[in-house]
Amino acid sequence: MSKSIARNWPYPRLVAHRGAGKLAPENTLTAMRVGYAHGYRMVEFDVKLASDSVAFLLHDETLDRTSDGHGRADAYSWRELSRLDAGAWHSTPYAGEPLPTLTSIARWARAHRVCCDVEIKPSPGRERETGASVALDAAQFWKGADTPPLLTSFSEEALASAQETVPELPRALLLETLPDDWLARLARLECVGVNACHKVLSADVVRAAHAAGYRVACYTPNDPARVHELAKWGVDCIVTDAIDKIAADSLPAPAALP
């Protein structure tokens, strides 16, 4: 499955970061809908586990920045988390927006034929558990889908756990810098590609990845000129906040691997 995905890349060139960039409260169902309304047909979002192992969307380790909750997110059960307001922090129109489960996002995405970049974002100490759980949920929720979700993570432990649990789901390793052994890490985790900070990419890096049979994604360029430069280099997926400045159909589809 993974090798086939790398060769026959099914994902759009442009991806809406956390659903809608900064136009709506990140990692909420409303954000996904806003991204969709702007023409984006792939969304990126962060998933972690509640104390009772329910997978839900949140970027930070704590609840404080993007909800009216406080403290470590994984200290609460899903029942407790579901009562929080995850919209008022962004702006008054979104007050009352709840945290979503991975289940609800998967249902919405499949109904609207939207591709998903599922970032596994484990709470400290729960890397293996989160990788396995999210992979199992994704396999169940997207069973029979034309395009599987792309599982990504900065945590190699979580990504390895996903690999062991559901090896057929495609994976990409998130990297803030490019260590000398980055290609070896992709091979060890049987990834379809790398998802790197756009600042560390170059045309040579993209060529090296493609020559080795890997796709290249990046996060989060928001300047249209930079996005077009990355596309010119051959970057296959570009995750951006600037969904109101960069039209979803403004770039050609990724090219075939050499």
In CATH terms, the superfamily for domain 2-62+102-240 is Phosphatidylinositol (PI) phosphodiesterase (3.20.20.190)
Planar angle of CA 47, 49, 52, nearest 5 degrees: 155
Distance CA 33, CA 36 (A): 5
Condensed to tens digits (0 to 9), the pLDDT of residues 162-188 reads 999 999 999 999 999 999 999 999 999
Distance CA 42, CA 30 (A): 15
Q: Which two tokens stand for residue 75?
A: 């200290």
Active site residue 90: no
For the chain, domain boundaries: 2-62+102-240
Active-site option among 17, 90, 198, 210? 17
Condensed to tens digits (0 to 9), the pLDDT of residues 52-108 reads 999 999 999 999 999 999 999 999 999 999 999 999 999 999 999 999 999 999 999
Active site residue 112: no
Helix axes 29-37, 102-112, angle to 10 degrees: 20
Give the torsion sign (CA, 174, 149, 192, 44).
negative
Residue type, 99: L
Helix or strand (DSSP H, E) at 57 = strand 55-57
* Residue 149 contacts residue 117 (beta carbons within 8 Å): yes
Strand partners, 55: 49
Quick one: pLDDT at residue 97?
Answer: 98
Closest CA to 224 of 241, 237, 236: 241
Who contacts 232 (Cβ-Cβ below 8 Å, separation ≥6)? none
Condensed to tens digits (0 to 9), the pLDDT of residues 228-239 reads 999 999 999 999
Active-site option among 38, 59, 70, 90? 59
Global pTM reads 0.98
Q: Which residue has 């010119």 as its token pair?
A: 232
Quick one: pLDDT at residue 193?
Answer: 98
